[in-house]
Amino acid sequence: MMFSRIVFMLLSVSSSMANANIGSYVGYWSVNCGGFGGNIIVSDGGGVRINVNDNNLLISAKLKELKSGSSELFFVDVLESRNEKINWSSISLEKPIAKLSVNGKSLVVNWYGFFDKKKKLYIWNKQPDFILENNGDETAMMKKCIFD
């Protein structure tokens, strides 16, 4: 657990150098602020934490900016998991798990899932809370949550 947090902090620092234009992504994003639905937290340094499933699956990820004004999100590590259905050692670090773009005050999340290198396909593409909250649509609209 401690190793995962150290990796997350190092990635936050290193990805800030690689992704200078992430300012519009920074913040706490959720389908349902303060409630069920999972969330994405992007730090000033570019580190990303994704609560894929409440009380079940929390991961770290990194952003890679695309020329189209959007970014791809890549899996880095599992921070917490009670999920025994995913073989994390076979999940790709090279294939994106999602494409993100900011549209006004919304974060558009096109969720692909985790690419399983052994099965050669994306898995966990319908099970994240933000997809379930969106009636199974793999494109979720999240709003920036501000807690006072």
Distance CA 117, CA 113 (A): 12
Give the model's pLDDT for residue 21: 64
Contact 37, 133 (CB under 8 A): yes
Give the model's pLDDT for residue 63: 92
Give the model's pLDDT for residue 18: 43
Give the model's pLDDT for residue 59: 97
pLDDT string in tens for the chain (148-residue length):
444 444 444 444 444 334 446 788 999 999 988 878 889 999 988 789 999 998 899 999 999 988 878 999 999 999 999 888 899 999 999 999 999 999 988 999 999 999 999 999 999 999 999 888 877 778 899 999 998 7
Which run of H or of E encompasses 14? helix 2-18
Per-residue DSSP letters for 58-112? EEEEEEEE-TTS-EEEEEEEEEEE---SS-GGGB-SSSEEEEEEEETTEEEEEE-
Residue whose entry in the numeric block shows the structure tokens 């890679």 = 64
**CB burial of residue 60 (10 Å; 0-12, 13-18, 19+):** buried
Using the Cα atoms of residue 97, residue 48, residue 15 and residue 26 in order, give the sign of their dihedral. positive
Domain boundaries, the chain: 2-145
Strands 57-65 and 47-53: antiparallel
